[in-house]
Amino acid sequence: GQQLNQSPQSMFIQEGEDVSMNCTSSSIFNTWLWYKQDPGEGPVLLIALYKAGELTSNGRLTAQFGITRKDSFLNISASIPSDVGIYFCAGSTGTASKLTFGTGTRLQVTL
Amino acid sequence: SAVISQKPSRDICQRGTSLTIQCQVDSQVTMMFWYRQQPGQSLTLIATANQGSEATYESGFVIDKFPISRPNLTFSTLTVSNMSPEDSSIYLCSVDLGGDRPQHFGDGTRLSIL
Protein backbone atom coordinates (compact mmCIF):
# COMPACT_ATOMS: atom_id res chain seq x y z
CA GLY A 1 0.00 0.00 0.00
CA GLN A 2 0.90 3.66 -0.16
CA GLN A 3 3.37 5.05 2.34
CA LEU A 4 4.28 8.58 3.12
CA ASN A 5 7.92 9.59 2.69
CA GLN A 6 9.60 10.94 5.78
CA SER A 7 12.96 12.66 5.94
CA PRO A 8 15.44 12.37 7.33
CA GLN A 9 15.34 8.62 7.82
CA SER A 10 17.46 8.98 10.94
CA MET A 11 19.32 11.68 12.78
CA PHE A 12 21.87 12.02 15.52
CA ILE A 13 21.71 15.29 17.40
CA GLN A 14 23.13 16.77 20.55
CA GLU A 15 21.03 17.53 23.57
CA GLY A 16 19.67 21.06 23.39
CA GLU A 17 19.57 21.22 19.61
CA ASP A 18 16.42 21.82 17.60
CA VAL A 19 15.12 19.08 15.29
CA SER A 20 13.13 19.31 12.09
CA MET A 21 11.56 16.49 10.11
CA ASN A 22 9.03 16.35 7.33
CA CYS A 23 6.56 14.08 5.64
CA THR A 24 5.45 14.23 2.02
CA SER A 25 2.77 12.53 -0.01
CA SER A 26 1.64 12.35 -3.60
CA SER A 27 -1.97 12.42 -2.37
CA ILE A 28 -3.98 14.98 -0.48
CA PHE A 29 -4.91 14.27 3.13
CA ASN A 30 -7.50 16.02 5.31
CA THR A 31 -5.82 15.11 8.59
CA TRP A 32 -2.16 14.84 9.52
CA LEU A 33 -1.02 13.17 12.71
CA TRP A 34 2.37 12.80 14.35
CA TYR A 35 3.15 9.81 16.59
CA LYS A 36 6.19 8.76 18.59
CA GLN A 37 7.06 5.12 19.19
CA ASP A 38 9.39 4.00 21.95
CA PRO A 39 10.89 0.48 21.96
CA GLY A 40 8.39 -2.12 23.08
CA GLU A 41 5.44 0.22 22.92
CA GLY A 42 2.75 1.28 20.53
CA PRO A 43 2.75 4.69 18.82
CA VAL A 44 1.68 7.56 21.05
CA LEU A 45 -0.08 10.55 19.53
CA LEU A 46 1.87 13.82 19.73
CA ILE A 47 -0.02 16.30 17.58
CA ALA A 48 -3.09 16.26 15.34
CA LEU A 49 -3.65 18.71 12.47
CA TYR A 50 -6.99 19.20 10.74
CA LYS A 51 -6.70 22.29 8.56
CA ALA A 52 -4.36 23.25 5.72
CA GLY A 53 -1.83 25.81 6.96
CA GLU A 54 -2.56 25.00 10.61
CA LEU A 55 0.34 25.36 13.05
CA THR A 56 -0.08 23.52 16.36
CA SER A 57 2.20 23.21 19.38
CA ASN A 58 2.43 20.69 22.19
CA GLY A 59 5.13 21.80 24.62
CA ARG A 60 8.46 21.75 22.78
CA LEU A 61 6.83 20.21 19.70
CA THR A 62 5.39 22.22 16.84
CA ALA A 63 3.79 20.75 13.73
CA GLN A 64 2.36 22.29 10.60
CA PHE A 65 -0.19 21.08 8.07
CA GLY A 66 1.20 21.99 4.65
CA ILE A 67 -0.83 24.40 2.55
CA THR A 68 -0.95 21.95 -0.36
CA ARG A 69 -2.33 19.22 1.98
CA LYS A 70 0.42 16.94 0.71
CA ASP A 71 2.97 17.51 3.44
CA SER A 72 3.52 18.15 7.11
CA PHE A 73 6.42 19.21 9.30
CA LEU A 74 7.41 18.51 12.89
CA ASN A 75 9.87 20.55 14.89
CA ILE A 76 11.27 19.71 18.32
CA SER A 77 12.98 22.50 20.18
CA ALA A 78 15.76 22.08 22.75
CA SER A 79 15.90 18.29 22.46
CA ILE A 80 16.38 16.15 25.56
CA PRO A 81 17.43 12.50 25.91
CA SER A 82 13.84 11.26 26.30
CA ASP A 83 13.08 12.57 22.80
CA VAL A 84 14.86 9.46 21.49
CA GLY A 85 12.54 7.24 19.50
CA ILE A 86 10.91 6.81 16.13
CA TYR A 87 8.61 9.54 14.88
CA PHE A 88 5.87 8.64 12.43
CA CYS A 89 3.61 10.90 10.45
CA ALA A 90 0.24 9.58 9.40
CA GLY A 91 -2.37 10.91 7.02
CA SER A 92 -6.08 10.36 6.84
CA THR A 93 -8.71 11.37 4.33
CA GLY A 94 -11.28 11.71 7.14
CA THR A 95 -11.38 12.02 10.91
CA ALA A 96 -12.84 8.53 11.30
CA SER A 97 -10.84 6.92 8.58
CA LYS A 98 -7.92 4.54 8.20
CA LEU A 99 -4.40 5.93 8.48
CA THR A 100 -1.52 5.81 6.05
CA PHE A 101 1.79 5.92 7.90
CA GLY A 102 5.09 7.47 6.98
CA THR A 103 8.36 5.59 6.77
CA GLY A 104 9.52 6.99 10.10
CA THR A 105 12.36 9.17 11.40
CA ARG A 106 14.62 7.64 14.02
CA LEU A 107 15.92 10.26 16.43
CA GLN A 108 18.93 9.70 18.65
CA VAL A 109 20.11 12.32 21.10
CA THR A 110 23.60 12.48 22.55
CA LEU A 111 24.52 14.28 25.73
CA SER B 1 -8.38 8.91 25.48
CA ALA B 2 -9.09 5.19 25.85
CA VAL B 3 -7.15 2.41 27.55
CA ILE B 4 -6.35 -0.30 25.02
CA SER B 5 -5.11 -3.69 26.20
CA GLN B 6 -3.63 -6.31 23.92
CA LYS B 7 -2.98 -9.92 24.80
CA PRO B 8 -0.57 -11.58 24.58
CA SER B 9 2.13 -8.91 24.68
CA ARG B 10 4.54 -11.31 22.99
CA ASP B 11 4.75 -14.91 21.89
CA ILE B 12 7.05 -17.34 20.16
CA CYS B 13 5.23 -19.80 17.94
CA GLN B 14 6.00 -22.78 15.80
CA ARG B 15 5.70 -22.67 12.03
CA GLY B 16 2.30 -23.82 10.79
CA THR B 17 0.39 -22.96 13.96
CA SER B 18 -2.12 -20.14 14.51
CA LEU B 19 -2.33 -17.48 17.20
CA THR B 20 -5.25 -15.29 18.21
CA ILE B 21 -4.50 -11.79 19.51
CA GLN B 22 -7.05 -9.99 21.64
CA CYS B 23 -7.72 -6.25 21.84
CA GLN B 24 -9.88 -4.86 24.67
CA VAL B 25 -10.92 -1.21 25.01
CA ASP B 26 -12.26 0.36 28.20
CA SER B 27 -15.02 2.23 26.37
CA GLN B 28 -17.29 1.60 23.41
CA VAL B 29 -15.72 2.62 20.12
CA THR B 30 -17.07 2.64 16.61
CA MET B 31 -13.92 1.87 14.70
CA MET B 32 -11.17 -0.63 15.50
CA PHE B 33 -8.21 -1.34 13.28
CA TRP B 34 -5.42 -3.92 13.05
CA TYR B 35 -1.92 -3.02 11.85
CA ARG B 36 1.24 -4.96 11.18
CA GLN B 37 4.72 -3.56 11.83
CA GLN B 38 7.46 -5.71 10.37
CA PRO B 39 10.93 -5.50 11.97
CA GLY B 40 12.40 -2.04 11.51
CA GLN B 41 9.48 -0.94 9.36
CA SER B 42 6.49 1.36 9.54
CA LEU B 43 2.90 0.39 10.27
CA THR B 44 0.71 -1.13 7.57
CA LEU B 45 -3.05 -1.42 7.95
CA ILE B 46 -4.29 -5.00 7.77
CA ALA B 47 -8.02 -4.42 8.14
CA THR B 48 -10.82 -2.46 9.73
CA ALA B 49 -12.76 -4.52 12.26
CA ASN B 50 -16.46 -3.80 11.80
CA GLN B 51 -18.88 -4.56 14.60
CA GLY B 52 -21.58 -6.94 13.42
CA SER B 53 -20.16 -7.51 9.96
CA GLU B 54 -17.08 -8.86 8.21
CA ALA B 55 -13.83 -6.99 8.48
CA THR B 56 -12.66 -4.84 5.57
CA TYR B 57 -9.23 -5.95 4.41
CA GLU B 58 -6.55 -3.89 2.73
CA SER B 59 -4.80 -4.94 -0.44
CA GLY B 60 -2.39 -7.78 0.25
CA PHE B 61 -4.25 -9.13 3.27
CA VAL B 62 -6.90 -11.85 3.15
CA ILE B 63 -9.44 -13.20 5.56
CA ASP B 64 -8.14 -16.77 5.39
CA LYS B 65 -4.74 -15.65 6.66
CA PHE B 66 -5.92 -12.96 9.11
CA PRO B 67 -9.46 -13.74 10.30
CA ILE B 68 -10.87 -10.98 12.50
CA SER B 69 -13.76 -10.95 14.93
CA ARG B 70 -15.57 -7.93 16.40
CA PRO B 71 -18.34 -9.29 18.62
CA ASN B 72 -19.07 -5.97 20.38
CA LEU B 73 -17.99 -2.33 20.60
CA THR B 74 -15.15 -2.95 23.06
CA PHE B 75 -13.43 -6.08 21.80
CA SER B 76 -11.77 -7.54 18.72
CA THR B 77 -9.49 -10.42 17.85
CA LEU B 78 -7.00 -10.99 15.07
CA THR B 79 -5.83 -14.49 14.23
CA VAL B 80 -2.59 -15.07 12.37
CA SER B 81 -3.11 -18.41 10.64
CA ASN B 82 -0.67 -21.04 9.44
CA MET B 83 2.27 -18.93 10.54
CA SER B 84 5.63 -18.78 8.79
CA PRO B 85 8.80 -16.86 9.78
CA GLU B 86 7.68 -14.03 7.46
CA ASP B 87 4.79 -13.36 9.84
CA SER B 88 7.21 -12.35 12.60
CA SER B 89 6.07 -8.81 13.34
CA ILE B 90 4.42 -6.54 15.84
CA TYR B 91 0.65 -6.61 15.50
CA LEU B 92 -1.11 -3.48 16.77
CA CYS B 93 -4.69 -2.71 17.53
CA SER B 94 -5.97 0.87 17.30
CA VAL B 95 -9.27 2.55 18.02
CA ASP B 96 -10.92 5.63 16.64
CA LEU B 97 -12.82 7.50 19.35
CA GLY B 98 -14.87 9.48 16.87
CA GLY B 99 -15.33 13.18 16.39
CA ASP B 100 -12.03 15.01 16.18
CA ARG B 101 -10.20 12.48 18.33
CA PRO B 102 -7.59 10.59 16.31
CA GLN B 103 -6.61 6.94 16.57
CA HIS B 104 -4.97 5.59 19.68
CA PHE B 105 -2.89 2.42 19.76
CA GLY B 106 -2.34 -0.50 22.06
CA ASP B 107 1.20 -1.56 22.92
CA GLY B 108 1.15 -4.33 20.35
CA THR B 109 1.83 -8.06 20.28
CA ARG B 110 5.38 -9.07 19.40
CA LEU B 111 5.20 -12.30 17.47
CA SER B 112 8.18 -14.48 16.53
CA ILE B 113 7.80 -17.61 14.46
CA LEU B 114 10.47 -20.28 14.54
Cis peptide before B8 (omega within 30 of 0): yes
Whole-Å CA distances, B88 to B11, B13, B32, B50, B83: 10, 9, 22, 25, 8
Model confidence pLDDT, tens digit, residues B16-29: 999 999 999 999 98
Shortest distance between the Cα of B7 and any Cα of chain A, in A, equals 13
Does the structure show a pLDDT above 60 at A40?
yes
Judged by CB atoms closer than 8 Å, whether chains meet at A41 and B107 is answered as: yes
**Chain A contact for B102 (CB, 8 A cutoff):** yes
pLDDT class of B102 with cuts at 50, 70, 90: confident
Percent of chain A with pLDDT over 70: 95
Does the structure show a pLDDT above 80 at A94?
no
Mean pLDDT for the stretch of residues B49-75: 93
Say which residues have a Cβ less than 8 Å from residue A46's Cβ, sequence separation at least 6.
A34, A35, A36, A58, A61, A63, A74, A87
Shortest distance between the Cα of B82 and any Cα of chain A, in A, equals 23
Does the structure show a pLDDT above 60 at A96?
no
Average per-residue pLDDT in chain A?
92
HEC secondary structure over A9-61:
CEEEEECCCCEEEEEECCCCCCEEEEEEECCCCCCEEEEEECCCCCEEEECCE
- The answer to whether residues B3 and B95 touch, using CB atoms and an 8 Å cutoff, is no
Q: Report the pLDDT value the prediction gives residue B2, as an integer from 0 to 100.
A: 84
| Count of pairs with CB atoms under 8 A, one residue in A, one in B | 57
Judged by CB atoms closer than 8 Å, whether chains meet at B108 and A41 is answered as: yes
Model confidence pLDDT, tens digit, residues A41-87: 999 999 999 999 999 999 999 999 999 999 999 999 999 999 999 99
- Residues of chain A found within 8 Å of residue B100, distances taken between Cβ atoms: 48, 50, 95
Q: Report the pLDDT value the prediction gives residue A1, as an integer from 0 to 100.
A: 54
Report the run of H or E that residue B37 belongs to, with start and end: strand B31-37
Judged by CB atoms closer than 8 Å, whether chains meet at B43 and A88 is answered as: yes
